[in-house]
Amino acid sequence: MKRLKVGLTFFYDYKGWAGGVMYTLNIISSLNLLEDTLKPELYIYYNDIAPIEDVRKIGYPYLKFLKIKNYPPPFIISTLSFISIKLFGRSFLFKEKPDLVYTYFKYLNYGRRSFFWIPDFQEKYLPELFSEQSIATRSKWHQFIAKSKKNVVVFSSMDAMNDFKLFYPAYACTIALVRFACILPEFKSISIDTLKGKFGIKDNFFMVTNQFWAHKNHRIILEAIALLKSKNLDFQVAFTGSTRDKRNPEFFNTLDEFIKVNDLDKYIVFLGFIEREEQLKLMDESVAIIQPSLFEGWSTVVEDAKALSQNIILSDLKVHKEQISENCSFFDPHNPAELASLMESYLVKKPKRLFIDYTMNIKRFGVDFLGALKYNEL
């Protein structure tokens, strides 16, 4: 049987969009668990910033790497690519041609259908975090996607899919639900005592692994810590991730100022970017993971918690409740007292961890992803 050839676009790094990096890596890892006859040949289209070595580490047997370099203005590339594909069946950029490309990249417009992934509609619910131009650009892009029968749109959650139907009720595109899962690297052999010494972490600590973006809602954690100061509890909250928010460049500075004004330094440790294996070891050994986001499409942090069978305290978003039902406690993301109460209860008596067999989540991800790609044949 002919092996399907799938192009995957990989044009981002951990600092710019860690969620996008993990999404692509987890696609490849989940496909690697399928029977050999089902595994597609993957064409990885990448640029200078993409962590391509992390793709190689997966050990997927059918990989080709094709680097996208700097080219002339987009309209020239687009025109030449269109002519080249019409005349020769392939873009002039590369000699080899996959059956389809995920996700859509206009210079690589192969296949009968164009495939898109829309993570969420955050700009509709938190417009104050976006510029007017950014909101207009997103809306125009989503309208472009929705109107064509040729397009296939993948959503990671029913919540995001329902939003699409709400905001673009006249859509003509095909829609597909593919809930992604996280495949974790080996980390158990790492010494937790060594990590604690390396990063200055105490015995009782919570983990927060979101980027420092405004919608990730780090401030409510700081407000909860301020409420817990009088309780004489011995704990820390360890944060990982980039402190740079392109949309809100002063965001981290406001958090830093809050920490200083409220004298919270002893409760907080910022780790920055650390190795994925180290991050997972800390998550696994923590009192609990905290995920306070104001908005998510399908949270990688929550998937990590599920894969670890670790306790997680998280905001009561619809998508979070769609995503997890075990080892979890929900709170109002605008109520620091509610979060503080949960943190205190976890410190006083750490809840037991119910084992979650995550294997089926991973297998389902690979199968569902291939299922969505079959729309290319229709």
Distance CA 296, CA 377 (A): 31
Range 192-357: architecture per CATH: 3-Layer(aba) Sandwich (3.40)
Fold of 5-182+361-377: Rossmann fold (3.40.50)
Distance CA 48, CA 50 (A): 6
Chain-centre distance of CA 333, in angstroms?
A: 20
Distance CA 101, CA 110 (A): 6
Can you list the residues of the chain whose pLDDT is less than 70?
70-95, 107
- 154-208 tens-digit pLDDT: 999 999 999 999 999 999 999 999 999 999 999 999 999 999 999 999 999 999 9
Q: Which three-class secondary structure state does DSSP give residue 108?
A: helix
- 275-317 tens-digit pLDDT: 999 999 999 999 999 999 999 999 999 999 999 999 999 999 9
Domain residue spans in the chain? 5-182+361-377, 192-357
Q: What is the pLDDT of residue 113?
A: 93
Q: Residue 5's CB: how many other CB atoms inside 10 A?
A: 19
> What single string gives the DSSP state of each residue in 165-181?
HHH-TT--SEEEE----
> Any bridge partners for residue 313, and if so which?
290, 329
Distance CA 314, CA 296 (A): 11
Q: What is the pLDDT of residue 246?
A: 80
Q: What is the four-CA torsion angle of 245, 248, 253, 254, rounded to 10 degrees?
A: -130
Same CATH fold assignment for domains 5-182+361-377 and 192-357: yes
Q: What is the pLDDT of residue 112?
A: 87
Amino acid at site 174: T
